[in-house]
Structure 1
């Protein structure tokens, strides 16, 4: 078998030739890319003459131009982020992460498992809201009974009601003041605040969710912290200073969590924490 030359055996002239070859390949690839871009721009004027017809199921298509299609794709790209900020996912995933840290487990359960649990619980919590969105917006628009604008407005209402029910008075007043609307609310009434836009409701909702999630996390830390303190005191009194307390307290924390049915209590409390 032929042995490949090592890096030390390669002469400077060979390195220069390889570098020139890589540079040539780079510029060739860049040229092909620029040609494709120019081709797309050149054909853009012809493509602008055509419309994309979105069939609604009743032989009455709605004509959509290239700009509207681009906006639609941008909205689809931002949809996951917006939906995560408008549902119960934020509170649930933060509480699960804080629980893992409170027990002392760094990678168990894995992040994928926590995200899957949070998505399942979020779907369970959001089921009534999603059902209302489907009945009032998606199905009528699919059957051609309402327009696209009416479908969007009908879909906004259930989401706003859900978010306003979880929003605190202090957070809502803060963002109303920041937006220039001088309102001093004493109670958040969802039916009376539907006229507010998402730019006020969404940050107020997320702030309230973070506050509740950290409050629940604090309550979760207390029993596990007590176990750590007891174990540390016992080890200190026995003179076992070099033994890490976390190594001894971890089995006791896991046993306590299993005995009291911690997962069931946590999931039940999380679901009931949403109004």
Structure 2
């Protein structure tokens, strides 16, 4: 067991040893009097009590944060509501693999970017640009950039869901704006799922009626061995196309966020 684990880890160990040796070689070859770039340094910031981190440590933190990007996409944007509605729509139509998961994910991603564009622009204006101009520290930039997302999440979160998680966290807040991200995120996702299922329920009704009508007609004709889904599927697709369903769905999802 241990030997097999070492064999699997051997490429990573070789890479780590190579990087270490290269770093040592660069340090030995560097001319005297020219300091190397420190890997990790923490120094006092401009304001009293604050700290500044080296660029290397900031890059490491940024690369680590990128691994949480999919979770942030689902927990802090409109992606969850959109992809759930698309999945329910495909189920209501009776199509198992059309449109494919890749197409639905692509539609959900770009519709999310369209809906979240004002939030992204505000986060860039108040957080990223001041940091690039060295007006604020990295920690201050993160706090400033997170504020537009927090306002968006608060606007889409039901008070009952927010109160539930505040009660579960056993914390007290004077105003909703004081709620921490760790309490706001699950409340936001719960509200998004509830809204997505409400939209999905409305989508299911016309297609369910078609299934019931087709099943009744087949039973009246004595064709009980024929699956109603095979007969109703073309009618559901025709109805969806005639009412311009994709435009209605996307317009409804965008309008649900106030666009």
Task: Give the TM-score band, short-chain normalised.
Answer: 0.7 to 0.9
What's the counterpart of residue 149 of structure 1?
139
Partner Cα separation in structure 2 for residue 179 and residue 166 of structure 1: 20
Q: For 1:136 and 1:272, how far apart are their aligned partners in 2?
A: 26
**Aligned counterpart in structure 1 of residue 218 of structure 2, from 230, 235, 246:** 235
Give the Å deviation of 1:113: 0.5
| TM-score in terms of structure 1 length | 0.76
The aligned length equals 236
For residue 51 of structure 1, give the secondary structure of its aligned residue in structure 2: coil
Q: Does the alignment pair 1:162 with 2:145?
A: no
Q: Which residue of 2 aligns with 1:12?
A: none
Check whether the contact 2:39–2:57 (CA below 8 A) recurs between aligned residues.
Answer: no
Report deviation, 1:119.
0.8
Q: 2:101 aligns with which of 111, 118, 121?
A: 111
* Cα deviation, residue 95, structure 1: 0.1
Structure 2 unpaired stretches of 5+: 28-35, 42-51
Gaps of 5+ in 1: 1-24, 54-61, 186-191
Following the alignment from structure 1 to structure 2, what is the Cα–Cα distance between the partners of residues 271 and 164?
A: 17
- Asked whether the equivalents of residues 179 and 200 of structure 1 are also in contact (C-alpha less than 8 Å), the reply is yes
**1:81 deviation in Å?**
1.5
TM-score by length of 2: 0.81
When residues 122 and 28 of structure 1 are mapped into structure 2, their CA distance, relative to the original with a 3 A threshold, is closer
Residue 139 of structure 1 is matched in structure 2 by 129
Indicate the structure (1 or 2) with the bigger Cα radius of gyration: 1
Q: Secondary structure at the match of 1:194?
A: helix
Return the alpha-carbon distance in structure 2 between the equivalents of residues 162 and 108 of structure 1: 32
Matches of 2:194 and 2:5, distance apart in 1 = 53
1:73 positional shift: 2.5
